[in-house]
Amino acid sequence: MLEIENLRGGYGQVEVLRGISMNIGEGEIVAVLGSNGAGKSTLNNTLSGIIPPIAGRISFDGKEITRARYTDIVAAGLIQVPEGRRVFPNLTVEENLELGSYLRGGVRRRQNIERVFAIFPRLKERIAQRAGTLSGGEQQMLAIGRGLMGEPRLLILDEPSLGLSPLLVEEMFALIKRLNEEGLTILLVEQNVGQSLEISGRAFVLENGAVVFSGTPDELLSNSDLKRAYLGI
């Protein structure tokens, strides 16, 4: 579904991604791991068209999107729930969700809002509250809900468990697993190595903007050098 070939990218003159190749098949859940500053978020934002790639190729659903505008990428169904949530603080919970279907899924907006409320009942209780006044965990729920409103074909989740209490982290991973079982393709960027590997079919490890491992969770967990060097476990 998503094919990345030799992707290089970064910020101005600073090259962060140094030739990344990976692929994600329909219905898969793929974990991207790596230490701070490895380039995970940079990869996400390059895929989403927020920062332009320097070289390489990205194709989604068989179409090349390497230099596509971010609007076209969202329209194609490649949707990212970013690191740090990035909800609209001055808009209400409901308005945030409505904007999730700004480009896609607009016809089923009401149904999808109900679906998000079924997943996150706490959001329903806070429907008219401004997003900026939500707790961190609630904001994370809202960010994911907003992402789902666009009826993603591929959902990129950038550290969805960051800042959540242990109980909520459990719930969050259970939810990600469930969404995947319902047919959603997911690219999961995480620091929480153990839990991510439990629900992922395959994993990539990034270090310094390059892929240093790709394979199944079992292969990764049985490679103690890699675990120690890059994942700290």
Which residues are near Mg ion by CB under 5 A?
A: 40-41, 83
SS3 158: strand
Judged by beta carbon distances under 5 to 8 A according to partner kind, the member of other proteins, ligand ATP, Mg ion, none in contact with residue 36 is ligand ATP
Binding mask 72-111 for ligand ATP (x = CB under 6 A): -----------x----------------------------
Q: Which residues of 111-126 are buried (b: 16+ CB within 10 A; e: fewer)?
A: ebbeebbebbeebeeb
Q: Which is nearer to other proteins, 103 or 175 (CB)?
A: 103
Describe the strand order of the beta sheet including 53-60 as a list of residue ranges.
14-24, 2-11, 53-60, 63-64
Residue whose pair of structure tokens reads 């550290």 in the numeric block: 159
Q: What are the DSSP E strand ranges found in the chain?
A: 2-11, 14-24, 29-33, 53-60, 63-64, 78-81, 154-158, 185-189, 202-207, 210-215
Looking at 7-15, 27-35, 82-90, 192-200, which segment touches other proteins (CB under 8 A)? 82-90
Residue whose pair of structure tokens reads 């809002």 in the numeric block: 113
Task: Find the binding residues for ligand ATP in span 10-29 (CB under 6 A).
Answer: 11, 14, 16
Judged by beta carbon distances under 5 to 8 A according to partner kind, the member of other proteins, Mg ion, ligand ATP, none in contact with residue 77 is none
The verdict on 70 binding other proteins (CB under 8 A) reads yes
Token pair of 184 as six digits? 């959603």
Summarize as ranges the residues that interact with ligand ATP (CB under 6 A).
Answer: 11, 14, 16, 34, 36-42, 83
Summarize as ranges the residues that interact with other proteins (CB under 8 A).
Answer: 48, 50, 69-71, 73-75, 79-82, 85-91, 95, 98-100, 102-104, 146, 150
